[in-house]
Structure 1
Amino acid sequence: MKRNRYMLCLLLAAFMLYFALPKFSIFAQGLEGIFAISWLILALLVIAGNLSALLYAPKGQKLNVGKPKQKRARYLG
């Protein structure tokens, strides 16, 4: 379930970056340039965080539906 959320957040962040990148002027003077650079850094951090969470998330455990485990007899002797 978490993998789906990570993938959704990653795709949404990439989608927003796709639309925002042409509108930003990184080399602008003053507050416009500072906002553009800080927004891009934040967007890249969001993408990196979701990508690392997606890649390093533990895999789901498989259920043993087959034969039930048999107990081994212990011989003390």
Structure 2
Amino acid sequence: MKKNRYLLCLLLSGLLLYYAVPRISMFSPGAEGVFAYAWLGFALIVIAGNLTGLLYTPKPQGKQQLKGNRARKRIKSRYYN
């Protein structure tokens, strides 16, 4: 479910970049130029964070592996009595 959220955020941020990049002026003097660079910087941070979350999420363990771990724990706990 988290992967869907990361993908949705990536698509929305790409849509915002597609809409905003032609409209902002990068080479304007003063506050407008600072705002343009700050906005693009924050947009790239959002994209990088969502890509990191999408690519490096841990894989869920299978049910069989969990059952095997529980069985091993039960067997080991019997030996400590």
Same fold per superposition (TM over 0.5): yes
Q: What corresponds to 2:51 in structure 1?
A: 51
Instruction: Note the residue ranges of structure 1 that are not aligned, 5 or more in a row.
Output: 72-77
Structure 1 moving runs of 4+ over 3 Å? none
Find the counterpart in structure 1 of residue 74 from structure 2: none
1:36 aligns to 2:36 (yes or no): yes
State how many pairs are aligned. Answer: 67
> What residue ranges of structure 2 are gaps of 5+ in the alignment?
72-81
- The alpha carbon displacement at 1:59 in A equals 1.6
Structure 2 residue aligned with 1:5: 5
Matched position secondary structure for 1:7: helix
The alignment-based identity, stated in percent, is 55
**TM-score, length basis structure 1:** 0.78
Q: Which amino acid aligns with 2:59?
A: K
User: Which structure has greater helix proportion?
Assistant: 2
Partners of 2:20 and 2:29 lie apart in 1 by 18
